[in-house]
Structure 1
Amino acid sequence: MADNVLVAYATKNGSTAEIAEAVAEVLRKGGLTAEAVPAGSVTDLASYDAVVLGGGLYAGRWHKDARRFVRRHRRALTERPVWFFSSGPLDASASERDIPPVPGVRRAMDKLGVTEYVTFGGRLEEGAEGRIARMIVQSGKGGDFRDFAAIESWAERVARALGGQRVR
């Protein structure tokens, strides 16, 4: 059983952080120790038995902190179970079908032997950082497209794979 799980995340406007917190909470309910931490602040993986890494998608690329996390911790990530998730589509597509990883994430998955990947809908609302993000919101294409029931269901699968208890 993997007792201590890192849920690292890379986010610009906080949506991916909230998904990571929800994942960590489900893992804790499953009897595991889990903490959600910004990917850029992680210096060592030695105390973690498993890793969940999430990154926001921006213009078809994973957030730079998620990409840096993979490069910085490549060796340690190959030595433990790893799950990836992305957040980003600003529509219902992530709830309607599986969305494959963007090419850069796919390459990292192949190198690391990632256990599972999923894409969740994103959130972009008034006050978002970045010129393009503000333009998207102003054009009426923003909103919150995260499906927390799907996020929790996926996190339960991760918990069970790590030997945690059934949450529901």
Structure 2
Amino acid sequence: MAMNVLVAYGTTNGSTAEIAETVAQVLRKGGLTVDAAPAASVRDVAEYDAVVIGGGLYAGRWHKDARRFVRRHRRALSERPVWLFSSGPLDPSASERDIPPVPGVRRTADRLDARGHVTFGGCLREGAKGRIAGMILRNGKGGDYRDFERIEQWAAGIAGELQETAGAPR
């Protein structure tokens, strides 16, 4: 029986969406049925056997859509396997070492008994929305620090875990 997985994400300028789409693509290659969607657009998670939730980090907080998604679906999420990811550092640090989740994401991981969390490097390109984004770019601190090989490896690990449990009751 194929597992049905949701990859929900909160993003402002699209770079976290690109990470989520990469995760979804790897999960599909692993034989899973996967939907990737903006967290704000998801009305119900009942049809999913597992959920991956991602959010961009802004001023030390997960994207508001990711936070609201978790609050809205907390009960249902606590009944299925959940993984979390954050994207944010605008430097190579996320590829050089494990970066722990920010406090709000740590609390979410604990409440949902998440199976894992990872912080990936962020991406901020010219034309990004927001006053702070503009300031960061003007100061020469933008760039793309996402490590897609690492993202794919992480997603492959999730696919492996879900394949092992396919067919087992939740």
TM-score (norm 2): 0.95
AA of the residue aligned to 1:97: R
Alpha-carbon distance in 2 for matches of 1:2, 1:16:
26
Aligned to 2:105: 105
Q: Does residue 1:32 correspond to 2:32, yes or no? A: yes
- 1:81 Cα shift? 0.1
| Identical counterparts, % of pairs | 74
Partner of 1:93: 93
Conserved 8 A contact 2:51-2:81? yes
Q: For 1:73-94, what per-residue CA distance to the aligned partner results, in whole angstroms no more than 9, with x for missing partners?
A: 0000010000000000000000
* Matched residue count: 164
Which residue number corresponds to residue 21 of structure 2?
A: 21
Say yes or no: does 1:12 pair with 2:15.
no
How far residue 138 of structure 1 moved from its aligned partner, in angstroms, is: 1.1
Partner SS state of residue 149, structure 1: helix
Amino acid in the other structure paired with 2:15: S
The structural deviation recorded for 1:157 is: 0.2
- Give the alignment of 1:63-102 within 5 angstroms: 63-102=63-102
Is 1:144 matched with 2:144?
yes
3-state SS, counterpart of residue 141 of structure 2: coil
Q: Secondary structure at the match of 2:12?
A: coil
Structure 1 segment 46-65 matched on structure 2, within 5 A: 46-65=46-65
Q: What SS is found at the alignment partner of 1:52?
A: strand
Conservation of the 8 A alpha-carbon contact between 1:22 and 1:152: yes
| Residue 155 (structure 1) aligns with | 155
Determine if contact 2:4/2:47 at 8 Å carries over to the other structure: yes
State the 1:150 CA deviation: 0.1
**Helix, strand or coil at the partner of 2:129:** coil
Any conservation in 1 of the 2:90–2:124 contact (CA below 8 Å)? yes
- Contact between 1:9 and 1:39, CA under 8 Å: does it hold in 2? yes
Work out whether residues 2 and 31 of structure 2, in 8 Å CA contact, stay in contact via their aligned partners in 1.
no
- 1:148 deviation in Å? 0.1
- Which amino acid in 1 is paired with 2:144? D
| Partner-residue secondary structure (3-state), 2:109 | helix
What is residue 168 of structure 2 aligned with on the other side?
A: none
**Take 1:5 and 1:111, find their aligned partners in 2: how far apart are those partners?**
20
Structure 1, unaligned runs of 5 or more = none
- 1:8-33: CA deviation from partner (whole Å, max 9, x where unpaired): 00000000000000000000000001
Partner of 1:114: 114
